Amino acid sequence: MSVFNSRCVFCLKMLFAALAACLFTSAARAQSAAVKPYPRASVTFTAVTPDAALKAMIEVLRKAASEDDVGTIEKSLAADLQVVVCRSDPLLPCAPGAPGVKTADQSKPAAQRLRETICCPGVPEDQITDELRKETITGHIAGALESGQTTGHETPGLVCMPSWAIYDRDKAKAIIAATGADPLLLRYASEPIKYRDTPSEKAPVSGTIAKGDLVPMLSDIATNMPDGWYGVALPSGKIAYTDAIGLEELTPSGTCFRKDGSGWKIALVMAIE
């Protein structure tokens, strides 16, 4: 390749890089103009240490899920088991009887309620088989128990897995209204999250999102974002950038246990569609 051609290739690369930077900057400025300050809000968790009986039950269920043993899981269901399928929108409550929540028919046996309700959002009824229902149940239990973390729930007496975040939905709505963010991208920081003014490791750290704080991720500038980076809207109305891991969803699928006269039982199953 001639020196002239090499210089042309180099110039083209520099031009494309400049255009990409320009597109990113323009998108970021447009998004920034739409973001307004909002009151800081955070989630809380009610820490619960499982007793020996619950620990043993969790291990039994883990083993059953890994072996596709639905029978053992169904034996662990409370007679009044509640099963709900909620939307992934964290602004909406995920509870039996809440608007938009699919709730199991309590007149049916617990095992039937679980099989029919949790399986299978988006799948045509004529394609749902018994095997698919079983796979959905074991997959749900395995996913719920994977983290090993147990917390309380808004409903007294329940112990849930994974961790169940408690937060003020009115404050969450205010955050979305102020930032124009997609509600599905509202997150909480599971650990302190460092952020920068530009999406680059060379940029100095300009602040930290505190553990537990609610913060919306921004989708409008994602198409021009460097790989692994994402924008967040801060309470100040400023847009910041981070490549840290630790912003978690507010609406995970989960399983909750309750202790009664016969021991621990699965009392609530929450699936997200």
pLDDT in tens, 7-44: 444 444 444 433 344 444 444 444 555 789 999 999 99
Nearest to 172 by CA among 249, 85, 241, 118: 249
| Residue showing tokens 């897995």 | 161
Q: What is the pLDDT of residues 239-270, one digit of tens each?
A: 999 998 899 999 888 999 999 888 999 999 99
User: Looking at the structure, do residues 25 and 139 belong to the same domain, yes or no?
Assistant: no
Q: What is the pLDDT of residues 179-190, one digit of tens each?
A: 999 999 999 999
Q: What is the pLDDT of residues 100-123, one digit of tens each?
A: 888 999 999 999 999 988 887 777
In a domain, 140, yes or no: yes
User: Looking at the structure, do residues 94 and 154 belong to the same domain, yes or no?
Assistant: yes
Give 220's pLDDT tier (boundaries 50, 70, 90).
Answer: low
| Cβ–Cβ < 8 Å for 83, 101 | no
| Residue 197 structural domain | 3-34+168-249
CATH number at residue 18: 2.30.30.40
| Cβ–Cβ < 8 Å for 230, 171 | no
User: Looking at the structure, do residues 60 and 148 belong to the same domain, yes or no?
Assistant: yes
Q: How many other C-beta atoms lie within 10 A of the C-beta of residue 24?
A: 17
Is pLDDT above 50 for 139? yes
User: Looking at the structure, do residues 222 and 265 belong to the same domain, yes or no?
Assistant: no
Q: How far apart are the first and last CA of the chain?
A: 55
User: Looking at the structure, do residues 241 and 256 belong to the same domain, yes or no?
Assistant: no
Nearest to 57 by CA among 133, 166, 150, 131: 150
User: Looking at the structure, do residues 16 and 149 belong to the same domain, yes or no?
Assistant: no
